[in-house]
Structure 1
């Protein structure tokens, strides 16, 4: 086995994995909090396996120290820059700007290239770090997003524009649809950043999360080295704009049990309740992107997604804040029940049976005793015990992979939706475009549809042959599973008796949430900022008129 490690911030090594480390490699994806995940890309030619990982400094330094011994010093060397930064030209267009850009245009400025793909949760996690750097160095630093889309749907300019608006990105983004720029820079993982000095030379690369702490020291050194030679003239970019809509990128929809519905209005950082015709009856959250508790009118969220109703308590996955919140519908107050805002990372045998932190919680499902959480950021399923009021690990090792087996050994891929059918849990395992079953009796996980991180498509038919593309929503109804096949712009039905997948609704725009209630399918048609209702008998489709 050969493993490619990217160590520290600014150099790479390629080493044969010693026999005594092969066992350890089974747990790559982390021994340390803050490490991100295995496996970004892999290949097996029958003799060797090359694994390219999303990683952070400490895990890789740990493994290499085991092999060679290390002194813990930084590997960065600002004196040894010799590689000219390749140009960032592309035939697929630019966004958040009204012109094309080239590396030479930024002479005198420090440049940071961010290689990302908009469906990747780790790319989402580094956005606050990029914003922090932009705020610290508004005139000295230029950040350019290089969008190298993994999925077919992610390569379209319009969908990248939607992602820019959804995430609030304020720097230019180039559409690297065919991975041309990616290949020029030798990138092998999302996210990866490349730092370029004011003379246009590559300082180095860093893959994974924790970008601010990895890159900022080098920016400071460059500022010190170049001094007055730094071009501090402000650059102004023409950012993407959008029309105002009542809902903005709605994520999930659930029934309130009385003919009304709760919607996570994610782009407006709030939760809204509507009647069957779309009239807004109640709002939770003041719309600010924050984490304040308190009365409904003053509480705040950050891109909330999944919800689960338990009596008069509405549990909310406050995704951008890494929190689980609860809205008391009688008292009209919001409190935090799990999380402290930090990203929780747990690996292998670590912290089973003790309280843990959520990490980009995305989907929720309630039973009488528990709230089950599709914990996208750490590729796990968590369990919130309603009696103990604590959050625990439930399934998943923390690796990003399509691995079946016992709950502790199985691996997920950014799970974003969760439901229950006939006593078992079912998960929309997003990055693997898969549907997973958690057998609650045998404590095992198996894949019922899906083949892996890089096998996806749009194919109906038998479970073993069907293909989905970045599925994010799932709902059980009358023995079947209804799924939001997000990047195929469809709702599909998994018939659990015939073991067959078929398309129910098409022509959508990256739907994230699905619900079946009172004879209709209710869809959070996310990128169209809509709620769509489809009659199960007639197939008639209706876009609700959402109004205050």
Structure 2
């Protein structure tokens, strides 16, 4: 009897170990917001809604969380990846090579001594500003909006660009979506190259970038997906549910918003605890038709 009990307990222990479930936090698609007559390119957080640039219609619109347009800023010339800071909206105009700031109904052109050639993206943090100068294949950076520095040239080597489309500022670094080199690049504030991210992921037009405290997010335009990396550049997750020609993305109140240019919509993701197996780390979670891949 004693031997039988030992066998039963051993079997139960083995079964318990095999069935032990582990979880991890992953982004899961939760909602898609349809946009009427808006092909969104850039996205930024506003005080009373979400700003979207609609380059096809030469305007920027403010929408609520259901996609209803609350305000329109028109008479622009192909607005691209926008930014906000302290209530001011910054709009790079790809079509007329200028950047304009908007506060309420006041528009002011930002003075830049160097000539821009199709500015595609802008980032603002406190008094710092960076601009992705598309056809000049460079990044402009200023600490005070008075003295500007410039780095980059056309090419494929580290530190070179092939049509940069978006830029993001953190406390120490400048992060760039190097669109048609199909990668992300990271620089210090002096323009020194620090690292390259995503070259092994076969991206096809890395158009938008967003950086949080823990992750780097990139839109992979032609592949209809978003790639999530850690800050060192290791791939953590691939998002592709309800994403169609994504151009930009942002996290607002712990929700990841992805702009779908072709889909005329916003795809929303939230972080959830999902089940993974104990040994190989593969997720057993299925979220509708989500085909996200995870790399430890």
Instruction: Name the TM-score class by shorter chain.
Output: 0.7 to 0.9
2:178 to 408, 417, 429: 429
Q: Distance in 1 between matches of 2:233 and 2:52?
A: 32
What residue in structure 2 maps to residue 74 of structure 1? none
Distance 2:110 2:287 in 1: 40
The CA deviation string for residues 30-56 of structure 1, in whole angstroms up to 9 with x for no partner, is xxxxxxxxxxxxxxxxxxxxxxxxxxx
Alignment map for 1:70-109 (pairs within 5 Å): none
Change (3 A) 1:315 1:477: same
Q: Does residue 1:444 correspond to 2:193, yes or no?
A: yes
Change (3 A) 1:251 1:540: farther
Aligned length: 242
Alpha-carbon shift at residue 363 of structure 1 (Å): 1.1
1:314 to 80, 89, 105: 89
Q: 2:68 aligns with which of 272, 279, 286?
A: 279
> For the residues of structure 2 that align with 1:491 and 1:499, how far apart are their CA atoms?
14
Specify the alignment match of 1:524 in structure 2.
259
Is 1:250 matched with 2:43?
A: no
Corresponding residue to 1:264 among 53, 56, 80: 53
Cα distance per residue 1:360-391 (max 9 Å; x no partner): 11111112222101111111001255442x6x
Shift of 1:497: 5.0
Q: Deviations over 1:211-245 (max 9, x none)?
A: xxxxxxxxxxxxxxxxxxxxxxxxxxxxxxxxxx7
Give a deviation string over 1:236-264, Cα, whole Å, max 9, x none.
xxxxxxxxx733321011112x4621110
Once the two structures are superposed, the pairs formed by residues 451-490 of structure 1 within 5 Å of their partners are 465-490=200-225
Q: Could you tell me which residue of structure 2 aligns to residue 337 of structure 1? A: 110
1:328 and 2:106 are equivalent in the alignment: no
Query: Which protein has the bigger strand share?
Result: 2
- 1:377 matched to 2:115? The reply is no
State the 4+ residue runs in structure 1 displaced beyond 6 angstroms: 538-541
- SS of the residue aligned with 2:217? strand
Q: Closer, same or farther in 2 for the Cα pair 1:309/1:507, shift >3 Å?
A: closer
Q: Report the CA distance between 1:524 and its aligned residue.
A: 1.1
| Larger helix percent | 1
TM-superposition CA deviations, 1:288-347 (whole Å, max 9, x none): xxxxxxxxxxxx111101212222321111111111011122xx12232246xxxxxxxx
Q: How does 1:110-125 map to 2 (within 5 A)?
A: none
- Number of the residue aligned with 1:305: 80
* Residue segments in structure 2 that go unaligned for 5+ positions in a row: 1-34, 274-285, 289-296
SS in 2 for 1:487: coil
Query: Normalising by the residue count of structure 2, what TM-score does the alignment of the two structures yield?
Result: 0.74
Secondary structure of 2:132's match? Answer: strand
Greater RCO (Cα-Cα under 8 Å, separation 6 or more) = 2
Q: Which segment is superposed worse, 362-371 or 485-494? A: 362-371
1:403, distance to aligned residue in structure 2 (A): 2.0
Partner SS, residue 478 of structure 1: coil
Other-structure match for 2:121: 363
Which structure 2 residues correspond to residues 131-210 of structure 1 after superposition, within 5 A? Answer: none
Cα contact 1:325–1:338 (8 A) shared by 2 = no
